C-alpha cells in the first residue's frame, strides 16, 4: 500500500514540479518597443517604416496615402510584436534610404529607416 | 491564446470524453471504476472517432454544425451507445472506490510522460499557424464550417485537397464553437489532446497485458522522435490519422490474440474515422485489414467472416462522403498514374521503394522505432507467438509497399524527403505510431512465453 501511494505521489510531484519550475523562471514576456524596432545601421535588407498601428483602419489610411503620392510597393505587415507596420522594402543602402526619407518628408511623411528582419 | 479559449477547448475535450465513455460502455463496459480510469484515453479516442465520423455525415447531408447541433449529436450518440450497452446487459460496477494500482516502474515512466506532455502543451498553446497545409486548407475548411455552417460549395471546390474528407476540419470547427471564436493559435492545443488521448489509450489498453518495463520505453521513444517533437501539434490531419490507424492496428492485434468482439468493433470505428480523415486512410486501412487476413489464414473459416463484417462496417461509415464527391463532381483523389500508369513509370519503382525504406528507418525522423519493431517481431516469433508476429510483419511489409506506391503512382512527386515536395515522411508516421503500439505487445508476448518455457 505504501509503495502504491508513493508511486502516485511521484507522478503528482513531477506533474506539479514542472509548472512550478516554469513559473519560477518568470512568466511569458512581451517584446519591448526597442526589441521590435531595429534601426538601420548597415547596408542591405533595409526598409522604410511609415508607422506602426494597432488598428487595420489606421494602417490602411496611411498605406492608401503612401500609394497615392507614389510610393509603390508599400504594404502592411505584422511587425511580430502585435502591431501592423506600413512599410516599403527593397532599399539597398543607407545612402539611398536617407534620400528616400528626405523625399518622403517633403510630402508629409516621417518614415524611419530600419533593418529588415530576415 | 486566452483563458476563455483554453477553457472552451478543455470543455470540448471533456465533451468528447463523456461521449466516448458512453461508446466504451456500449462496446465493452467496465468491471470497476479503476478500469474505466485506465481506459479513459481509449474512451476519449472513441469519442473523437465516433463524433468525427458523425460530423462528416451531418455535413454531407447539409446539417449546420452549430453548437446546438454538436451538443445534440453528442447527446444522441451518448444515448444510443448507452442504450446498446443496456441492451447487451452491461451493468455499472457497484463499488464506488477507485483502485488504481501503479507500480514504481510505471510511476517513473508515467512521471516522465506527464512532464513531457506539460512541456508539449506549453509549446502548443502559443504555436502560430505556420504549417503550409494547415493555413492553406485544413484550417480554412474549419473556418468555413464555423462561419458558413457547412461545406460551402465554391469554397471547398477551390481549396487544395477537395477530396479530403472533412473529419479534422469538422472537429476543428467544433473546437472553435466551444472556444467562441476561430482561435487558430489555441487550436494547436486540440492536437495536444489528440496525442495525449492516443498515448493514454495505448497505455490503458496494454497496461494489464504488458509489464511496465516493456510498455513505456517504446512510447517514450516515439515521443522523443524528432518528427513528433517538431510537428505533432500541427493543425493538420496527419497525426490524427496516424493515431487512429495505430489504435486500429493495436485493437486488431489484440483481437487476433484474444478474439473479444469489442476489440474488432473498436478497430472498425477507428478505421472508419481514419478513412474519414485523409485519403491515405483508405490505403492504411487496407494494410491493417490485409495484414489481419493474412495473419489469420489458418483460422480463416472462423475469423475471416468477422473481419469482413468489421471491414464492411468501417467502409459503410465513409460511403456518405464518397457519394458526396460523386454528387458534387469533385476529384475522387485517385492516383495520378492511374491503374496501369504504374508500368509507364516503372523507372520510379526502385527509387520510390528506397525512399520509403530510408524514411521509415531514418534516425533523424523516427529514431530507432522501425528497427525496434523488427527486433520485437523477431523476439515474438522466436518464442512461437506466430499470429501476432506474423500480423506485425505483414503490416510492416504492406505499409512499406503502400508508401512505395504513393511516390511511384504520383509522378509529380519528386524523390525526396522534403515535406514540402513529397508527403513520404508524414505518411511513415502511421507505421511509426502503429509500431509504438505493437512493440510492447510483441515484447510482452515474447516475455510471457519465455517465462512459460522456463
Q: Do the Cβ atoms of B314 and B321 come closer than 8 Å?
A: no
Q: What is the pLDDT of residues B189-213, one digit of tens each?
A: 999 999 999 999 999 999 999 999 9
Q: What local confidence, expressed as pLDDT, does residue B276 receive?
A: 97
CA–CA dist B298, B346 (Å, integer): 35
Q: Residue B438: which residues within 8 A CB-CB, separation 6 or more?
A: B249, B250, B253, B373, B376, B392, B395
Residue B47 belongs to some domain of the structure: yes
Cell 468493433, residue located:
B265
Sheet hosting strand A112-115, strand order edge to edge: A75-78, A84-91, A46-53, A112-115
Q: What is the pLDDT of residues A65-117, one digit of tens each?
A: 999 999 999 999 988 888 899 999 999 999 999 999 999 999 999 999 999 86
Residue B416 belongs to some domain of the structure: no
Residue B229: HSE in the Cβ half-sphere, 13 Å Cα cutoff: 11
Q: Is B191 exposed, middle or buried (0-12, 13-18, 19+ CB in 10 A)?
A: buried
Q: Do the Cβ atoms of B89 and B310 come closer than 8 Å?
A: no
Residue B198 belongs to some domain of the structure: yes
Q: Which of A11, A12, A21, A82 to mutate to test the interface with B (most CBs of B within 10 A)?
A: A11
CATH of A33-115, one of 3.90.1150.10, 3.30.70.1070, 3.30.70.1090, 3.20.19.10: 3.30.70.1070
CA distance A32 to chain B (A): 18
Nearest to B107 among A7, A17, A22 (CB): A7
Range of the domain at B294: 3-89+109-329
CA–CA dist A76, B122 (Å, integer): 30
Please judge whether A15 and B119 are an interchain contact, meaning their C-beta atoms are less than 8 angstroms apart: no
3-state DSSP call for residue A118?
Answer: coil
Using a CB-CB cut-off of 8 Å, the residues of chain B touching A8 are 100, 102, 107
pLDDT above 70 covers a percentage of chain B that reads 98
Please judge whether B102 and A14 are an interchain contact, meaning their C-beta atoms are less than 8 angstroms apart: no
Q: Do the Cβ atoms of B309 and B265 come closer than 8 Å?
A: no
Residue B370 belongs to some domain of the structure: no
Using a CB-CB cut-off of 8 Å, the residues of chain B touching A25 are none
Residue B102 belongs to some domain of the structure: no
- A&B contacts, CB < 8 Å: 40
B97 touches chain A (CB under 8 A): no
Q: Distance of CA A72 to CAs A53, A67, A113, B135, Å?
A: 20, 6, 17, 28
* CA max distance for chain A: 83
Mean pLDDT of B19-37: 95
Taking CA–CA distances from A19, the nearest residue in chain B reads B118
Nearest to A8 among B102, B112, B126 (CB): B102
Q: What is the pLDDT of residues B307-338, one digit of tens each?
A: 999 999 999 999 999 999 999 888 777 777 77
Centre a 10 Å sphere on the Cβ of residue B403 and count the other Cβ atoms it contains.
27
Q: Would you give the DSSP letter of residue A110?
A: -
Taking CA–CA distances from B112, the nearest residue in chain A reads A14
Please check the confidence at residue A118 and state whether its pLDDT lies above 90: no
A26 touches chain B (CB under 8 A): no
Q: Which of B99, B104, B107, B110 to mutate to test the interface with A (most CBs of A within 10 A)?
A: B107
Residue B388 belongs to some domain of the structure: no
A28 touches chain B (CB under 8 A): yes
B residues 114-133 near A, CB within 8 Å? 114-115, 118-119, 122, 126
Residue B50 belongs to some domain of the structure: yes
B106 touches chain A (CB under 8 A): yes
Total domains present in chain B = 1
Predicted confidence band of residue B288 (pLDDT cuts 50, 70, 90): very high
Domain regions of chain A by residue span: 33-115
Predicted confidence band of residue B18 (pLDDT cuts 50, 70, 90): very high
Using a CB-CB cut-off of 8 Å, the residues of chain A touching B111 are 10-11, 13-15
B14 touches chain A (CB under 8 A): no
A6 touches chain B (CB under 8 A): yes
ipTM computed for the complex: 0.73
Q: Do the Cβ atoms of B352 and B414 come closer than 8 Å?
A: no
Q: What local confidence, expressed as pLDDT, does residue B182 receive?
A: 95
CA–CA dist B235, B288 (Å, integer): 25
Q: Do the Cβ atoms of B443 and B376 come closer than 8 Å?
A: yes
Q: What is the pLDDT of residues B123-154, one digit of tens each?
A: 998 899 998 999 999 999 999 999 998 898 88
Please judge whether B102 and A18 are an interchain contact, meaning their C-beta atoms are less than 8 angstroms apart: no
Q: Which of B6, B38, B102, B105 to mutate to test the interface with A (most CBs of A within 10 A)?
A: B102
A15 touches chain B (CB under 8 A): yes
CA distance A69 to chain B (A): 34
Q: What is the pLDDT of residues A41-64, one digit of tens each?
A: 999 889 999 999 988 999 999 999
Please judge whether A8 and B100 are an interchain contact, meaning their C-beta atoms are less than 8 angstroms apart: yes
Taking CA–CA distances from B101, the nearest residue in chain A reads A4
pLDDT above 90 covers a percentage of chain B that reads 85
Please judge whether B104 and A15 are an interchain contact, meaning their C-beta atoms are less than 8 angstroms apart: no
Amino acid at each position: 500500500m505504501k509503495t502504491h501511494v508513493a508511486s502516485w505521489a511521484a507522478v503528482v510531484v513531477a506533474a506539479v514540479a514542472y509548472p512550478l519550475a516554469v513559473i519560477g523562471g518568470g512568466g511569458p514576456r512581451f517584446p519591448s518597443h526597442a526589441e521590435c524596432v531595429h534601426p538601420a545601421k548597415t547596408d542591405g535588407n533595409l526598409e522604410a517604416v511609415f508607422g506602426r498601428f494597432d488598428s487595420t483602419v489606421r494602417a490602411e489610411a496611411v498605406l492608401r496615402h503612401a500609394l497615392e503620392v507614389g510610393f509603390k510597393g508599400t504594404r502592411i505587415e505584422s511587425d511580430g510584436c502585435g502591431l501592423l507596420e506600413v512599410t516599403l522594402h527593397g532599399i539597398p543602402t543607407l545612402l539611398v534610404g536617407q534620400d528616400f526619407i528626405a523625399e518622403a518628408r517633403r510630402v508629409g511623411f516621417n518614415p524611419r529607416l530600419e533593418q529588415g528582419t530576415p | 491564446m486566452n483563458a476563455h479559449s483554453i477553457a472552451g477547448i478543455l470543455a470540448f475535450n471533456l465533451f468528447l470524453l463523456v461521449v466516448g465513455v458512453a461508446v466504451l460502455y456500449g462496446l465493452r463496459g467496465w468491471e470497476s471504476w479503476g478500469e474505466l480510469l485506465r481506459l479513459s484515453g481509449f474512451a476519449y479516442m472513441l469519442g473523437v472517432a465516433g463524433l468525427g465520423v458523425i460530423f462528416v455525415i451531418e455535413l454531407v447531408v447539409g446539417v449546420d454544425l452549430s453548437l446546438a447541433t454538436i451538443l445534440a449529436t453528442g447527446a444522441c450518440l451518448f444515448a444510443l451507445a448507452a442504450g446498446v450497452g443496456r441492451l447487451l446487459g452491461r451493468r455499472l460496477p457497484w463499488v464506488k472506490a477507485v483502485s488504481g494500482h501503479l507500480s514504481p516502474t510505471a510511476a517513473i515512466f508515467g512521471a516522465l510522460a506527464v512532464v513531457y506532455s506539460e512541456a508539449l502543451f506549453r509549446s502548443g498553446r502559443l504555436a502560430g499557424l505556420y504549417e503550409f497545409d494547415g493555413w492553406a486548407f485544413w484550417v480554412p475548411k474549419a473556418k468555413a464550417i464555423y462561419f458558413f455552417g457547412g461545406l460551402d460549395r465554391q469554397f471547398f471546390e477551390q481549396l487544395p485537397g477537395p477530396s479530403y474528407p472533412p473529419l479534422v476540419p469538422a472537429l476543428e470547427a467544433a473546437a472553435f464553437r466551444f472556444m467562441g471564436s476561430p482561435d487558430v493559435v489555441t487550436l494547436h492545443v486540440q492536437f495536444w489532446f489528440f496525442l495525449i488521448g492516443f498515448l493514454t489509450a495505448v497505455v490503458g489498453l496494454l497496461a494489464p497485458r504488458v509489464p511496465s518495463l516493456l510498455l513505456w520505453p517504446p512510447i517514450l521513444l516515439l515521443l522523443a522522435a524528432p518528427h513528433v517533437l517538431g510537428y505533432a501539434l500541427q493543425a493538420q490531419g496527419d497525426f490524427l490519422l496516424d493515431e487512429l490507424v495505430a489504435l486500429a492496428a493495436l485493437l486488431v492485434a489484440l483481437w487476433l490474440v484474444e478474439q473479444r468482439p469489442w476489440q474488432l468493433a473498436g478497430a472498425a470505428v477507428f478505421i472508419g474515422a481514419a478513412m474519414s480523415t485523409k485519403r491515405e486512410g483508405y490505403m492504411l486501412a487496407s494494410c491493417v485489414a490485409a495484414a489481419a487476413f493474412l495473419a489469420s489464414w489458418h483460422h480463416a473459416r472462423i475469423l475471416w467472416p468477422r473481419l469482413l463484417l468489421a471491414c464492411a462496417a468501417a467502409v459503410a461509415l465513409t460511403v456518405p462522403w464518397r457519394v458526396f464527391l460523386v454528387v458534387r463532381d469533385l476529384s475522387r483523389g485517385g492516383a495520378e498514374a492511374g491503374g496501369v500508369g504504374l508500368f509507364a513509370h516503372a523507372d520510379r519503382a526502385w527509387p520510390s521503394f528506397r525512399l520509403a525504406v530510408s524514411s521509415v528507418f531514418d534516425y533523424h525522423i523516427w529514431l530507432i522505432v522501425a528497427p525496434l519493431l523488427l527486433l520485437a517481431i523477431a523476439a515474438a516469433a522466436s518464442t512461437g507467438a506466430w499470429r501476432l508476429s506474423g500480423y506485425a510483419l505483414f503490416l510492416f511489409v504492406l505499409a512499406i509497399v503502400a508508401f512505395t506506391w504513393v511516390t511511384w503512382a504520383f509522378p509529380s512527386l519528386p524523390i525526396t524527403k522534403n515535406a514540402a515536395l513529397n508527403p513520404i515522411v508524414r505518411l511513415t508516421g502511421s507505421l511509426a505510431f502503429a509500431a509504438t503500439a505493437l512493440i510492447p505487445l510483441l515484447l510482452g508476448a515474447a516475455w510471457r512465453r519465455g517465462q512459460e518455457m522456463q
